[in-house]
Chains A and B, each alone.
Chain A
Amino acid sequence: MSLLELKNVSKVYGNLRALDSVNLTVEKGEWIAIMGPSGSGKSTMMNIIGCLDTPSSGHVILEGRDITKESNRALTELHRDKIGFVFQQFYLINYLTALENVMVAQYYHSMTDEKEAMAALERVGLKDRAKHLPSQLSGGEQQRVCIARALINSPSLILADEPTGNLDEANENMVIDILKKLHSEGTSLVVVTHDPEVGEVAQRVVKLSHGKIVSDEMNTHS
């Protein structure tokens, strides 16, 4: 059984087809990069995969379950239990510390566990920044807090929308290393990127244009 299947998925805004009959299968443990020009529907697709949005037509099958038929509440649960999301912009709650921002995800998942949250921050190299507020962190550090938050509940799939989009090279490399580590531990990754370097480290590159998949290739190097 595949981890995820998109069958003929379309998303229509007015008369704009942001996604147009997309078919995609993601296997367990796979690392896919999604590339394409701005406005090609990448974020739209991520939101649908991540159960944050529902398609206008077609089916999304997550671990054998057709989520297009699920209620809002069930979608929230699925999203919460199976998926870790890293947003295109660093969305942190600005009056909570880095540690607390990670713990919010624990709180709504099950129970807060400070040690575990601390361990997650350690994985992204931010142990000594745990008590800082987002405003006291650099962009790269904020993005790493988001990653720590995404992986805190051990999701089977991590979705990252431009995780390196606003970062300098040093931070970019750090994020790539974290992704590599997660992948080597068996987590499935779907990463949206403009950045060829990030695309290169993935196993498979899917290219979108005007809401359609225009190419789907395995990277030869890995």
Chain B
Amino acid sequence: MFFRMVKGTFVKQWKKMLMLALTIALGASIATAMLSVMLDVGDRINEELKAYGSNIIVVPQSEAVRSKLYDIEGESVETDYLREQRIGELLTIFWANNITDFAPISDTYADFDGSEVKLIGTWYNHHFEFSKKGSVYERDTGIINLRTWWDIVEGQWLDEQSIGSGEYAMVGSLLAREHGIKVGDRISVTTENSSEILTVVGLYDSGDIDDSHIYTTLPVVQRLSNTENLIKKIEVSAITSPTDELAIKAAKNPSLLSGDEYDLWYCTAYVSSICFQIQEAIAEASATAVRQIADSEGKILEKTELLMSLITFMSLVGATLGVSNLVTSSVMERSGEIALLKAVGAQNIQITTLLLTEFLITAVFGALGGYFMGYGFAEIIGRSVFSSSVEMSGMVAFVVTVLIFSITILGSIPAIRIVLKLRPSEVLHGGH
């Protein structure tokens, strides 16, 4: 009987119920989209911001101090180096999995076509293997992912995996124009230590000082500067948690933290704790956050999440109002029928159960449709804003289910109050 009556409502008020389902679907879709995006927006925004380069720089201890003092660019002063073989220690730290890319960097000045040019040696898409204490760590990494803003105007990236880490070069667009360099040219660079002939594989436009430089492989720069197996610094890109009070406190001096705070800090992917761990692993190095970027990442993340929460909240409020409107008018339209049910002995609780069942069944359909619609929206947002797809998550499905049930019940309250107040005598009084 109960379901016969529920069914009757769907047949009789199908337009209202459809509207109700649509309203709920709309709310559910926005909530699903926002929550899905929000859930992995941290990683996504970080990936996005990685476009602006590494967020951690690892340099030799004393070099860190010296560069601060003089801020020199290329004067032949004595320089400190890191040993190339120590790079692998990066992969042994607690947050190694958050390190998405890294590249060793070394540089030297060389004579080219009668002028002095800066050469940078690094990895591009290097296959890197490192073993320690019986564990083997492997990565394909290099600056291709750390210079995402580079525009390759001619040729292509130096592909170490297919042509090896030999005598190849990528030339900055400005330098190339000045000297009429084209892809395929062989250029000669000379220092007091040696001379190299490099094949140009690509010209790039970086929009900064690098446009006047030559990028080549690490061994070439090491031979030119007579610094075999040594590097000047490592650029590291890591996914980090937004900086908060604990991170700021720790950044000043980790030893001032209490035991629990220290553990929490150490086990959170703050940029400061990752730097700290890198220094633990490579004692002779100093790891520093590239400040502006690390900070703005945290702020942008917070603001984006706030905005999305706000949109979700507003859409749910809107859906609740819509539900409340539709449900109330559905009940008003049926007041005669409801009064009759009361008059044949239905208690308030029974009528409330009947109505809520109808509304919740409708809500389930709406929520289901809305969930998939919202997943579609999330996919669109992911593709267009973060250029990657958004994962469907059980967590979001659960939260959306709870939210939809809440707004349906919340939205039904005014209608239920009408039902409770409805007196059969007033509705069924009959014509006079």
Contacts and interface: CB of A to CB of B under 8 A. Distances in A.
Interface of A: 38-39, 43, 47, 52-53, 72-73, 76-77, 79-81, 85, 87-89, 91, 93-96, 100, 103-105, 107-109, 112, 149, 153, 161-162
B118 interface: no
Contacts of A103: 1
Nearest to A93: B337
A152 to B, nearest CB: 9
The binding surface of chain B is classed by DSSP as: helix
Interface in B394-429: 423-425, 428-429
A137 B341 CA distance: 21
23 contacts: A38-B432, A39-B432, A43-B430, A43-B432, A52-B425, A53-B425, A76-B345, A77-B345, A80-B344, A85-B343, A87-B430, A89-B431, A93-B337, A96-B8, A100-B4, A104-B5, A104-B344, A107-B2, A109-B344, A112-B1, A149-B344, A161-B430, A162-B430
Interface string B313-350: 00000000000000000000000110011111111101
B8 to A, nearest CB: 4
B11 interface: yes
Given A96-B4, A96-B5, A88 B344 contact: no
Given A88-B430, A93-B337, A95-B8, A52 B1 contact: no
Interface of B: 1-2, 4-5, 8, 11-12, 336-337, 340-348, 350, 423-425, 428-432
Contact of A105 (B8, B344, B350, B429): B344
Contacts of A108: 341, 344-347, 350
A77 B349 CA distance: 13
Contacts of A162: 430
A104 B425 contact: no
B1 A100 contact: yes
B341 A47 contact: no
Given A93-B8, A112-B1, A88 B431 contact: yes
Nearest to B7: A95
Q: Top 7 nearest A-B pairs by Cβ distance?
A: A88-B430, A80-B345, A95-B8, A53-B425, A47-B425, A108-B345, A52-B425
Contacts of B429: 43, 47, 88
A88 to B, nearest CB: 3
Contact of B428 (A80, A87, A109, A153): A87
Contacts of A161: 430
Contacts of B11: 95
Given A38-B432, A52-B425, A93-B8, A87 B1 contact: no
Given A91-B343, A108-B345, 8 more contacts: A38-B432, A52-B424, A93-B5, A94-B12, A96-B4, A107-B1, A108-B341, A112-B1
B358 to A, nearest CB: 13
